[in-house]
A and B are shown apart, each in its own frame.
Chain A
Amino acid sequence: MKGLVILLVILTLLLAGCGALYDRSMKELDVEETPEVVSGGENIVVDIDEGISEFIEIIGPMDSTWIGPGKVTFGNFVPGNEATYPITIHNGSSDSKSFLMWVMTPSLASEEYSNFIREVSTWVTFGDNGFIMAPKETRRVFVTLKMPDSTFVPHRNWEFWIAVKEGQSSFIQEAVASRWVFEMGDY
């Protein structure tokens, strides 16, 4: 009986410990699937670990094609983290238009946060891409960045851009981009 109890104690402890670890890793940077919209206002800070998923509402002109937010800053980010945030896209045209999203290299020489990690394009996934939007439609597309555990980031601050443009065949093409800025934490 004593042996059985000891075995039970060990098994229970192991299961409980693993459960706690598993549970924590799954909660880390988890974003609710149905976001709560916060209207207007200035910058908002979202503490993802607290389970808050507030995404600012972007309001722009009806007759222009635009995206928002213009800039998203992730603070205290470390390898292994995953972050999701929506890009709001508005088709200001009176016609249906196709839209393409991609990871864009920022201007390399101008900004404090311009350090670019080439691999980032393989870390980013789009909830939708190459989609067609109806005239005057506004849509949110969730963009997720998952930085691998083993990543070494040589710069404290770095950024990349999420660029969006209409499907165009012209020589000059217009694109708008959201700056995704990362301030790395200690790791």
Chain B
Amino acid sequence: MERFKDLTLLFLAIVLAMVMYLVPIDRVLGATTATVTVNATPAFVTLTVAPDTWDVNGITGSGAASTGTTYYSNPLGDVLIPSDPIVDGECRFTITNGSTVATNLTVDFGDFFGGMTMINSDAGTSAATEFGAFSWNSGDTTYAGNRTIAMVTGSDYMHSNLAGSTNIKWGLTILTRTDAWTNATLMQSTVTVTSTVAY
């Protein structure tokens, strides 16, 4: 009889263990994690930018940049501030949205390398060893009111909702550092234009 009780206990333990294994514990105690859902859109994103070069003060100027000066990528003049509103003729670059959906565009302006130190203030202002930068586009009502600070990363949109299969003309501004150059070594930077879906 005692042996029968022991075997019964063992049997019950095995059954209990199987039940615990098969039934997730959160169905008894309440879920500790919820279901994560993923929602993806089938849209593709593509863009082209042309041209891909800009020599600061090299459009109508000598190609040598001075300190403490504001330069524009304005085909009408390197130091000519764009008009209000900005028109196509004042814009050097063209972005084409080759996507089938509307996209937002950001313009990030990296620190300069080579030569002397010139880092992006991320504030649109220049100072010793720091430069400021802006992006702007054709159709902006006013240059001063609509330009966007071009930061190293995380810049606000230069343009929102550019319709699919359309293009927009745009430009750049740079405020060179305020302290004097100490050598004439070529300095370089990169500007990254990024397209993301607008919805």
Contact surface of A with B, Cβ cutoff 8 Å: 1-2, 5-6, 8-9, 12-13, 15-17, 19-21, 23-24, 28-29, 40-50, 55-61, 64-78, 80-81, 83, 85, 88, 90, 92, 104-110, 116, 161, 163, 165, 168, 170-179, 185-186
Contact = CB atoms under 8 A, between A and B. Distances in A.
29 contacts: A1-B3, A2-B6, A8-B13, A13-B16, A13-B20, A16-B21, A43-B42, A47-B36, A48-B35, A49-B35, A50-B35, A56-B42, A58-B42, A58-B44, A66-B99, A69-B40, A69-B42, A71-B41, A72-B40, A74-B36, A74-B37, A170-B190, A172-B190, A172-B191, A174-B48, A175-B192, A175-B193, A177-B45, A185-B36
B36 A81 contact: yes
Given A13-B13, A172-B193, A110 B157 contact: yes
Given A5-B9, A71-B197, A171-B54, A12 B17 contact: yes
Contact of A16 (B17, B41, B197): B17
B154 A116 contact: yes
Contacts of B6: 1-2, 5
A147 B51 CA distance: 40
Contacts of B14: 12
B153 A60 contact: no
A69 to B, nearest CB: 4
A48 B40 CA distance: 13
A24 B26 contact: yes
Bin the interface of chain B by size.
35 or more
B40 A108 contact: no
A61 B25 contact: no
A77 B37 CA distance: 8
Contact of A110 (B41, B43, B160): B160
Contacts of B193: 172-175
A73 B38 contact: yes
Interface string B185-199: 000111111111101
A5 B43 CA distance: 62
A13 B154 contact: no
A77 B43 CA distance: 23
Given A71-B40, A75-B37, A24 B24 contact: yes
B47 interface: yes
Contacts of A170: 52-53, 190
Contacts of A20: 20-21, 23-25
Most buried by A among B24, B25, B41: B41
B39 A45 contact: yes
Given A8-B13, A64-B98, A176 B38 contact: no
A68 B44 contact: yes
Given A40-B42, A64-B46, A170-B53, A5 B10 contact: yes
B17 A105 contact: no
B74 to A, nearest CB: 16
Contacts of A70: 41, 43-45, 99, 101, 196-197
B156 interface: yes
Contacts of B26: 24
A104 B38 contact: no
A104 B193 CA distance: 12
A171 B53 contact: yes
